[in-house]
């Protein structure tokens, strides 16, 4: 068995960016130059190692975050290639939750695009140190310094130029390395594996000196030793600079910026050096914090092999009928065959196998230590966001936030034989994806699936057909509405009936009140123990909560309501749990009617990039769709329009935008909030 890498030599990094910035292409080059793969897969050929799902290969986009391991300069690098499309934001969110560092990739032509901003701020939320790679410098219209300026303006980042390009557009051939003050030129014939390092040519010396001085000046702001040397004009050792840049990067003060053209195989090796030199090891990250389930107090777990085991399940996949869980080990060691505990669900789990991951290929290993990311087979009860720990040291880490789905479609099996398969297949997909929900509608007999967007649902339906061989008919996309109440209302209900020869009695009075948007439903028991025995309170709560799953307007889930139990009548010989549950449900329906229930609809935050000539028409169209313009910003020769628009009015918007802008407008949108439906469906 291979000797495990010391924790200081491990790098857990993610690659984050807007769709089409070149994340997967960069990852493929990294795997090739580190010797992990012997042939470069291209996204446009559908052969990228990391895009192994058929849907990814066909569409040329990343859908699921893939994990791989490679080695560079005696360091072990675990890379997660994350999706750029907004429908798969959960994949980025759960990856960033377990990473120590990230590489933000920016297209030198498009600059900082809307989804780059979203994922960058997600990384900020988890305090993830970052380095940046400005890609596609060989493209017409590439603007390296313009992109760096956009990083300052749009991301609030503090970029530190480690390189400047040699040549631009078609003539881009290499970089000036400002750290070592050398010129690096890549040889075309060697697929970028061979490059020449030479002194900086005289005609570029002045530019290189100017940018080198800016680099030292920026670092000196965060390091007194370098400030003294800088003011005294003393020479600076490269090692001193590297260690100082590393400290400032890990402290989220600087973002080292590299550049290149991944498709032309240029610029990747210095980026790999940057990963090892500047991004943190698990030891550099603060100890992970969690709650002790016994005391409710916060406690920390250090990133050490000798500490008790603490690990987080951040992703689940179903493969060949088996459940594969991706796990980040924060503390301790884990051996195949170990018994661990999931304290949130109070379940014991047995580790059947531990796997080192390389996209969809894997290798069995017997042991894993703190700082590593691995696949585990054998977990039964644990899902995304669950903590695994040593039974003697229970701790619950902060779970991973899941987003509420905003769009639904009805699916039905094409044949009777598909009926059984569809239920099992949907259950497996639901276990994998926290933003995907399945609901069976008793009234219509339909199965309703809900997700984050049209593309999200389309891909899940494709997976049903491809992976699970289940043929389904799919209805039109429908918006996921919610319901809530406008005012406080009191309601009573009595259930008195003979069921199966037994007399049942229950009577409850409840008060329903609206809560602030986004606060969720809450049950409050405000009656004394004398009026109703304590064992009947849980059935009442259950009846109320179940009744909130379907409102009185159009049967959508009810949200943001406080349900207070204000009265109950008890008959000693006849009262039963069933009677109180049914009475609570009946009272709840009456209260929703009296409280003047109304519909809420999902409102999307939309960003539209259009040439100025088409702005008037695009803004007019957004207003006609019931949208509100929130922001207008110039972006080079284009204009960025920020707006909020009801999702129900955004179906087919891409076609409308293309025809209004002669194909030159683009847009992205993500869920913003729920608000009162202006044009509710009848």
pLDDT of residue 450: 81
Angle at 633 between CA 631 and CA 638, to 5 degrees: 130
Judge whether residue 541 has pLDDT over 90: yes
Go through 383-399 and write b for each residue having 16 or more CB atoms within 10 A of its CB, e for each that does not.
bbbbbbbbeebbbbbee
Q: How far apart are CA 332 and CA 301, in angstroms?
A: 9
pLDDT of residue 17: 77
Q: pLDDT per residue over 502-526, tens digit each?
A: 889 999 999 999 999 888 899 998 8
**Coil, helix or strand at residue 247:** helix
Q: How far apart are CA 472 and CA 469, in angstroms?
A: 10
Dihedral of the alpha carbons of 156, 127, 13, 241, in degrees to the nearest 10:
70
Q: How far apart are CA 272 and CA 77, in angstroms?
A: 9
DSSP string over 85-141 = SGGGHHHHHHHHHH-SEEEEEEETTTBS-HHHHHHHHHHHHTT--EEEEEE-TTSTT
Nearest Cα neighbor of 330 from 366, 298, 365, 287 is: 287
* Lowest-confidence region among 121-130, 210-219, 462-471, 584-593: 462-471
pLDDT of residue 56: 37
Q: How far apart are CA 353 and CA 200, in angstroms?
A: 52
**Coil, helix or strand at residue 656:** helix
Q: How far apart are CA 93 and CA 548, in angstroms?
A: 29
Q: pLDDT per residue over 120-170, tens digit each?
A: 877 887 788 999 999 988 888 888 999 999 888 888 889 999 999 988 878
* Lowest-confidence region among 301-310, 312-321, 391-400: 312-321
DSSP string over 584-638 = HHHHHHHHHHHTT-EEEEEEEEEEEEEEGGGHHHHHHHHHHTT-EEEEEEEETTE
Judge whether residue 659 has pLDDT over 70: yes
Go through 481-510 and write b for each residue having 16 or more CB atoms within 10 A of its CB, e for each that does not.
bbbbbeeebbbbbebeeeeeeeebbbbbbb
Q: How confident is the model at residue 439 (pLDDT cuts 50, 70, 90)?
A: confident
355 and 363 in contact (C-beta within 8 Å)?
Answer: yes
pLDDT of residue 444: 62
Q: Where are the beta strands (DSSP E) in 269-350?
A: 288-291, 298-301, 310-319, 322-331, 333-335, 339-342, 347-350
Mean pLDDT over 572-581 rounds to 88
Q: How far apart are CA 580 and CA 583, in angstroms?
A: 5
Judge whether residue 278 has pLDDT over 90: yes
Q: Where are the beta strands (DSSP E) in 442-541?
A: 446-451, 472-474, 478-479, 482-484, 489-499, 502-514, 522-525
pLDDT of residue 73: 85
Nearest Cα neighbor of 279 from 123, 509, 431, 492 is: 123
Three-state helix/strand/coil letters over 327-348? EEEEECEEECCCEEEECCCCEE
pLDDT of residue 592: 95
Nearest Cα neighbor of 428 from 471, 379, 468, 397 is: 468
Q: What is the CA radius of gyration of the chain?
A: 29
Judge whether residue 595 has pLDDT over 90: yes
Nearest Cα neighbor of 138 from 212, 192, 84 is: 192
670 and 604 in contact (C-beta within 8 Å)?
Answer: yes
Per-residue tokens: 334: 């884990």
Q: How far apart are CA 388 and CA 613, in angstroms?
A: 56
Length of the chain equals: 682
Angle at 425 between CA 468 and CA 348, to 5 degrees: 120
For the chain, the average pLDDT equals: 82
pLDDT of residue 291: 87
Q: pLDDT per residue over 221-239, tens digit each?
A: 888 888 888 888 777 888 8
H or E segment and range at residue 184: strand 182-186
First to last CA, the chain: 65
Mean pLDDT over 33-60 rounds to 47
- Using CA atoms, how far residue 654 sits from 454, 660, 665, in Å, is 12, 10, 9
Judge whether residue 258 has pLDDT over 90: yes
pLDDT of residue 658: 81
pLDDT of residue 91: 59
* Lowest-confidence region among 5-9, 145-149, 594-598, 646-650: 5-9
């Amino acid at each position: 068995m291979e000797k495990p890498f010391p924790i200081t030599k491990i790098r857990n990094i993610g690659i984050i960016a807007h769709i089409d910035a070149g994340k997967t292409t960069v990852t493929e080059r990294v795997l090739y130059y580190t010797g992990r793969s012997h042939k470069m897969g291209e996204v446009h050929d559908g052969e990228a190692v990391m895009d192994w799902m058929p849907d990814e290969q066909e569409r040329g986009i990343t859908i699921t975050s893939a994990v791989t391991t490679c080695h560079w300069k005696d360091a072990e690098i675990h890379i997660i290639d994350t999706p750029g499309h907004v429908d798969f934001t959960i994949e980025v969110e759960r990856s960033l939750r377990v990473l120590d560092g990230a590489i933000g990739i920016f297209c030198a032509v498009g600059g900082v695009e809307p989804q780059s901003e979203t994922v960058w701020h997600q990384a900020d939320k988890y305090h993830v140190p970052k380095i940046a790679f400005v890609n596609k410098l060989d493209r017409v219209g590439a603007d390296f310094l313009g992109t760096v300026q956009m990083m300052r303006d749009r991301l609030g980042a503090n970029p530190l130029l480690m390189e400047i390009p040699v040549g631009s557009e078609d003539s881009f051939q290499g970089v000036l390395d400002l750290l070592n003050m050398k010129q690096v030129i890549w040889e075309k014939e060697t697929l970028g594996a061979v490059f020449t390092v030479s002194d900086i040519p005289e005609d570029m010396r002045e530019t290189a000196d100017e940018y080198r001085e800016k680099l030292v000046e920026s670092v000196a702001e965060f390091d007194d030793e370098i400030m003294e040397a800088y003011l005294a004009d003393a020479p600076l050792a490269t090692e001193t600079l590297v260690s100082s840049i590393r400290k400032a990067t890990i402290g989220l003060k600087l973002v080292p910026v590299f550049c290149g053209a991944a498709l032309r195989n240029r610029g990747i090796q210095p980026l790999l050096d940057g990963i090892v030199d500047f991004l943190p090891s698990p030891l550099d990250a603060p100890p992970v914090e969690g709650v002790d389930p016994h005391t409710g107090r916060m406690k920390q777990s250090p990133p050490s092999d000798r500490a008790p085991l603490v690990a987080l399940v951040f992703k689940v996949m179903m493969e060949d009928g088996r459940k594969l869980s991706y796990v980040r080990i924060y503390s301790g060691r884990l051996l195949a065959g170990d018994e661990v505990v999931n304290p949130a669900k109070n379940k014991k789990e047995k580790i059947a196998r531990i796997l080192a991951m390389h996209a969809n290929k894997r290798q069995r290993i017997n042991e894993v230590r703190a700082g590593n990311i691995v696949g585990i087979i054998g977990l039964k009860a644990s899902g995304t966001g669950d903590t695994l720990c040593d039974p003697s040291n229970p701790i619950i880490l902060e779970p991973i936030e899941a987003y509420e789905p905003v769009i639904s479609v009805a699916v039905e099996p094409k044949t009777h034989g598909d009926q059984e398969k569809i239920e099992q297949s949907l259950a497996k997909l639901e276990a994998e994806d926290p933003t995907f929900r399945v609901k069976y509608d008793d009234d219509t007999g339909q199965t309703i699936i809900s997700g984050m967007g049209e593309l999200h649902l389309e891909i899940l339906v494709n997976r049903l057909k491809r992976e699970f061989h289940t043929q389904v008919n799919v209805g039109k996309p429908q918006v996921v509405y919610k319901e809530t109440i406008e005012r406080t209302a009191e309601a009573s209900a009595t259930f008195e009936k003979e069921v199966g020869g037994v007399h049942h009695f229950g009577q409850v009075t409840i008060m329903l009140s609206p809560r602030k948007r986004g606060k969720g439903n809450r049950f409050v028991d405000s009656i004394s123990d004398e009026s109703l025995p304590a064992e009947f309170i849980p059935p009442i709560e259950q009846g109320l909560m179940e009744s909130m799953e379907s409102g009185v307007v159009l049967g959508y889930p009810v949200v943001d309501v406080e349900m207070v139990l204000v009265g109950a009548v008890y008959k000693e010989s006849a009262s039963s749990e069933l009677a109180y549950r049914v009475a609570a449900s009946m009272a709840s329906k009456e209260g929703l009617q009296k409280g003047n229930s109304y519909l809420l609809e999902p409102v999307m935050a939309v960003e539209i990039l259009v040439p100025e000539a088409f702005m008037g028409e695009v803004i007019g169209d957004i207003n006609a769709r019931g949208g509100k313009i929130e922001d207008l910003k110039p972006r080079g020769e284009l204009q960025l329009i920020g707006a909020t628009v009801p999702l129900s009015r955004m179906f087919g918007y891409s076609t409308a935008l293309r025809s209004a802008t002669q194909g030159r407008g683009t847009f992205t949108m993500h869920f913003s909030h729920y608000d009162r439906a202006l044009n509710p469906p009848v």
